[in-house]
Amino acid sequence: MAELSGTELSEEKEAEIELNKRQKRPWQDLHKSGKVGLSADLPETLGFYDISVVRRDQREHSADPSLTRFICTELTRGYFLEHNEAKYTERREKVYTCMRIPKELEKLMIFGFFLCVDAFLYVFTLLPLRVLLALLRLLTLPCCGFSGSRLLQPAQVCDMLRGLILVLCFSMMHYVDYSMMYHLIRGQSVIKLYIIYNMLEVADRLFSSFGQDILDALYWTATEPKERKRDSIGVIPHFFMAVFYVFLHAILIMVQASTLNVAFNSHNKSLLTIMMSNNFVEIKGSVFKKFEKNNLFQMSNSDIKERFTSYVLLLIVCLRNMEQFSWNPDHLWVLFPDVFMVVTSEVAVDIIKHAFITKFNDITADVYSEYRASLAFDLVSSRQKNACTDYSDSVARRMGFIPLPLAVLLIRVVMSSIKVQGALSYTCVFLFYLGLVTLKVLNSIVLLGKSCVYVKRANMEDKLFEGPSAAPSTAKSPSKADQARYRKPSAKSLQIFFSRVCHRRPAVLSKEL
């Protein structure tokens, strides 16, 4: 009897436990037992189902499946997006970021473009004047006497070297026949020209990356302090290396301009179409790669340099074509559609490429403001008295844009396309030079003002006054004079510095900033 009563109690406990389980998980027990089916009215993302809805469906529908029941279920089933709000909000933000990319990217491109314009105009406007001042100092040195250990300042030595390289390369370019090169390229097939153009683009990037190192090596070798131990091959070998590099790079750009000119003058425009489609191939090679912010900054600088170089090549092509048609203004409208197509394809490819790179790598559109502030910081820091480099060199290092080869080629094309004869022609040339100087000065003033604003917004003005890096802990502690020298500047000193940089009054500048 005791055994029977114990068995009955255990069965009652098991039944009670089973009932509790069914009350807690009614859907799972019913689903496992096969007594009910899935309800289409309940979303699966919730993780549980309403048992009342299931029972109502059982009463309304028969147990046998039918086509009518399936179609009604497909037509009436619903879902709730608010249960996955984070995912859809993120998708919407990505769409907004892609919509902001064209505006932010073009702001960076325009600012970088005018930086390249400033560095390019420097070669034609201020560099000749600085070379004349350096020559005047050398000529008046015996009369004034030696006032220091240096005959010329390091900046003047670099200007003399730039001017000498420019003159020698321009003289060497006279032995290169542009017309013969054009007809030689025109005689090639379309596929050959397409391959040649791609090879020239790769070679141009390689030349730009290595050319700045050659020029920096020359400048440092020529201005290195005499008391230091010499471990270089000398100024003369470095100088010839720089001249050889600038000459080869100028010829390379000339071949690029000739190929583009052939594409413009072809009857069916097939080569020009293929060359423009090559820009869209660039999207495939860059969009699906992993990019960090620094890599995207390098790509943005490369795109700025590429866009500016394309515009200069288009200018060369227009000059050569206008010369062939005796400067007929009507022919300019014939060239306009092709020029517009090239410019439009460049802008469209840059926008699409950057939009998808930022999308796939979760980079916000505000990063382009940081890039613009970094370029502005380089420009402002180069205006200090103790600047370590010229701003044109900093632009060349950032963007890979070296203005000397492009300037040599442009001077060569302009001199061969325009004949200067008579006093009136020389007067026009002088007035044109004054116009270039005015444009250079105005461009520099506007860039400096904008750069100060961008640096102020990015809170980077303190870096302009940073002293040398801290010494190791084992070194002797700095003196009070050194601490006072490298202390953090006050707001008033920052305001005075920016006013001096921008050549404006502090009160006016503070209102703008």
Sign of the Cα torsion 86, 88, 91, 97 reads: negative
Q: Tens of pLDDT along 383-398?
A: 776 666 676 677 777 7
Q: Tens of pLDDT along 42-98?
A: 444 444 455 565 566 665 554 557 888 888 888 888 878 777 778 888 888 888 888
- Which pTM value belongs to this model? 0.74
Average pLDDT of 332-354? 88
Q: Tens of pLDDT along 305-327?
A: 999 999 999 999 999 888 888 88
Q: Tens of pLDDT along 435-492?
A: 999 999 999 999 999 988 998 888 887 776 664 333 333 334 444 444 443 344 444 4
Average pLDDT of 91-115? 88
Which residue from 346, 339, 338 is spatially nearest to 283, judged by alpha carbons? 346
- Asked if the model's pLDDT at residue 169 lies above 80, the reply is yes
Task: Please give the radius of gyration of the chain, using alpha carbons only, rounded to the nearest integer.
Answer: 35
**What is the rounded distance in angstroms from the CA atom of residue 109 to the CA atom of residue 400?**
15
Which percentage of the chain shows pLDDT scores above 70? 73
- Asked if the model's pLDDT at residue 263 lies above 70, the reply is yes
Task: Tell me the two tokens of residue 440.
Answer: 């250079």
Average pLDDT of 166-182? 89
- Asked if the model's pLDDT at residue 41 lies above 60, the reply is no
* Distance from the first to the final alpha carbon of the chain: 98
Confidence of residue 495 (pLDDT cuts 50, 70, 90): low
Tokens 């102020």 found at: 456
Q: Tell me if 97 is assigned to some domain.
A: yes
Please state the separation of Cα 24 from the chain's center in Å.
Answer: 61
Q: Are 436 and 121 in contact (CB under 8 A)?
A: yes
Query: What's the confidence (pLDDT) of residue 54?
Result: 56
Q: Tell me if 223 is assigned to some domain.
A: yes
Q: Tell me if 414 is assigned to some domain.
A: yes
Q: Tell me if 237 is assigned to some domain.
A: yes
Choose from 5-19, 181-195, 384-398, 471-485 the range with maximum mean pLDDT.
181-195
**What is the rounded distance in angstroms from the CA atom of residue 66 to the CA atom of residue 62?**
9
Q: Is 231 strand, coil or helix?
A: coil
- Asked if the model's pLDDT at residue 406 lies above 90, the reply is yes
DSSP of 266-312: -SS-HHHHHHHHHHHHHHHHHHTS---HHHHHHHHHHHHHHHHHHHH
Q: Are 399 and 116 in contact (CB under 8 A)?
A: yes
Q: Tell me if 286 is assigned to some domain.
A: yes
Tokens 């492009």 found at: 406
The residues, ordered by sequence, that sit 6+ positions from 409 with a Cβ below 8 Å of its Cβ are: 173, 250, 253, 254, 257, 316
Q: Tell me if 10 is assigned to some domain.
A: no
Beta strands in 116-261 (DSSP E): none
Could you tell me which residue, 211 or 58, shows the higher pLDDT? 211
Which structural domain, as residue segments, surrounds residue 202?
86-143+151-464
Query: What's the confidence (pLDDT) of residue 52?
Result: 62
Q: Tell me if 23 is assigned to some domain.
A: no
Average pLDDT of 364-380? 90
Q: Tell me if 334 is assigned to some domain.
A: yes
Query: What is the number of domains present in the chain?
Result: 1
**What is the rounded distance in angstroms from the CA atom of residue 347 to the CA atom of residue 117?**
18
Query: What's the confidence (pLDDT) of residue 292?
Result: 87
Task: Tell me the two tokens of residue 147.
Answer: 């006032």
- Helices 293-324 and 367-381, interaxial angle, to 10°? 70
Q: What is the DSSP letter of 467?
A: -
